[in-house]
Amino acid sequence: MYLPTIGLEIHAELTTRTKMFCESANDPDETKPNVNVCPVCMAHPGTLPVINREAVRHILRIGTAIKGTLADFSEFDRKSYFYPDIPKGYQISQYMHPLVTGGELLGVAITRVHLEEDTARSIHTTGKSLVDFNRAGIPLMELVTEPVIEDAETAGRFARELQLLLRTLGASEANLEKGEMRIEANVSVSKSDFKSEFPEVRLLGTKVEVKNLNSFRSVERAIAFETERQIALIEGGGKVVQETRGWDEEKQVTFHQRFKEESADYRYFPEPDLPKLFLSEIPEFYPETIRASLPELPWKKRNRLRKEYKLKEEAAELFVQNVELGTFFEKVVSGRTPDFARLAANYITSDLLSLMKSDMPGNLPSAQDFRALVEMAMSGKLSSRGAKDTLALMYGHTEGGDPETIAKEHNLIQIHDSATLNTAVDTVLIREEKAVLEYKSGKLSALQYLIGKAMQESRGAGNPESLRKLIEVRLQELN
């Protein structure tokens, strides 16, 4: 038996006005190449970097959210390597003194979170390679986990939760497809029946780093594949070698890219052009100041929604993932009973969500109108069918969609007034003589027909169940 071990390294482009060390715009949506550049991020000689405080603040907020330790002292280092996407010949990163150490997310221990600058984007086409420097120097978070994850699903869950956290904090858009969040998985396997003299020490196998994981599914599949590949390799008498492998989305396999550099190859040394950061002397970076700036964190919100409104797991999860709907829900049910909240949650998570997912153009109703709709459903003014139809009409409305007006306009109000229903039934029973006779001679489908007619007569507002009862009683009387 083999035990897989996984450690993740996750990069995320931070949301800031300008780049990490200069005044060039940080605009991930810029499509024209090489417009957000300046002498600093183009590495012209003699230029000097300046630290972006917004980026430092993002990292400290992330670190606080994951219960890491914020550094009292931090500094940047030069990481040297030669590649066209790195115009200076080195990347400014952090090595010995990251901004954040320790912490955990979903029970997975985090080693560190540090700040660095993104590289330029290389575009390889046939016959030539192009470089777009818009991305060069964009602030980049790197978060490293301990090698403590034991399966692909946990790795996937961790990465999804981190994405949600980054979005909640406004630290990054964190879209994987856009490369705003990049996940690398380090994978190794070890014999699980290996008996160590020191059981608290886990002996790990040689790790392989897997890159180009462009979706959470790829993360999970690549880890699963890589685990199996390594086991088969060892079982066949081979040895895992430390290397970087890519993930081939089409073939669903990992493939060799390069043998891994040692950190010594990077010749890390403290960046002499930047000041050291004595964070404990900068009030805006005090741990308590940072903590006070945090919004409600996803895992707290999840628990609170479930407790406060007695929501089912899926509803709570939807409201945590979809901030717009979560905020809408809380606005609608504020100050109402748990029954009201549960009914409102149902209409939002099933009916409203499917309208939003459909091709039908529309808008989220106002909280006030939606609250009125739920009230009408609760009081029986609208049947559940009527409430769904009214909601669809409210959704399609461009301006103001008061459910009472809409339901009246479309005859969706459920009539409880028995006099009105009785009149409708009587009219139908007189008019539909043939169906009445058929029903009396035992043809049950005639009853369904009569109910349909009575619904039409009551202009769609009669409840089919009460109409059925009324018709049965009336026919009994007529006998």
The residues that touch ligand ADP, with contacts defined as CB under 6 A, are 5-9, 144-147, 186-188, 204-205, 207, 263
- C-beta of 190 vs 420, nearer to ligand ADP: 190
Angle, alpha carbons 200-203-204 (nearest 5°)? 130
Whose tokens are 């009853």? That residue is: 447
Give how far the C-alpha of residue 194 lies from the chain's centroid of Cα atoms, to the nearest Å: 39
Single-letter code of the amino acid located at 365: P
- Least separation in angstroms between residue 242's CB and ligand ADP is 8
When the beta carbons of 268 and 449 are compared against ligand ADP, the nearer one is 268
Q: How far is the CB of 205 from ligand ADP (least distance, A)?
A: 6
CB burial string 368-401: b at 16+ within 10 A, e below: ebbbbbbbbbbeebbbeebbbbbbbbbbeeeeeb
CB of residue 183 to ligand ADP, shortest distance in Å: 11
Choose between 198 and 272: whose C-beta lies nearer to ligand ADP.
198
189: three-class secondary structure by DSSP:
strand
Residue in this structure with the two tokens 């949650």, named with its chain if needed: 345
The distance of closest approach from Cβ of residue 254 to ligand ADP in the complex, given in angstroms and rounded to an integer, is 14
SS3 132: strand
Residue nearest to ligand ADP (CB): 7
Min dist. Cβ of residue 35 to ligand ADP (A)? 34
Quote the least distance from Cβ 198 to ligand ADP, whole Å.
17
Nearer to ligand ADP, 172 or 227 (CB): 227
CA nearest neighbour of 164 among 25, 297, 346: 297
Closest approach, Cβ 147 to ligand ADP, in A, equals: 3
* Smallest separation (angstroms) from ligand ADP to the CB of 231: 14
Q: Is 83 helix (H, G, I), strand (E, B) or coil?
A: coil
Q: Which is nearer to ligand ADP, 264 or 430 (CB)?
A: 264
Nearer residue to ligand ADP within complex by CB, 264 or 478:
264
Q: How many CB atoms lie within 10 A of CB 86?
A: 18
| Interatomic CA distance for residues 247 and 237, integer angstroms | 24
- 314: nearest Cα among 342, 284, 333: 342
By C-beta, is 224 or 367 nearer to ligand ADP? 224
| Nearer CB in complex with ligand ADP: 233/367 | 233
Type of residue found at 112: R
Q: Could you give the count of Cα atoms lying within 13 Å of 126 in the half-sphere of its Cβ?
A: 0
Cβ–Cβ under 8 Å, residues 143 and 103 = no
CB atoms within 10 A of CB 122: 13
Nearest approach, Cβ of residue 318 and ligand ADP (Å): 31
Q: Which of 274, 267, 264 is nearest to 79 (CA)?
A: 267
In the block, residue with structure tokens 């003299």: 197
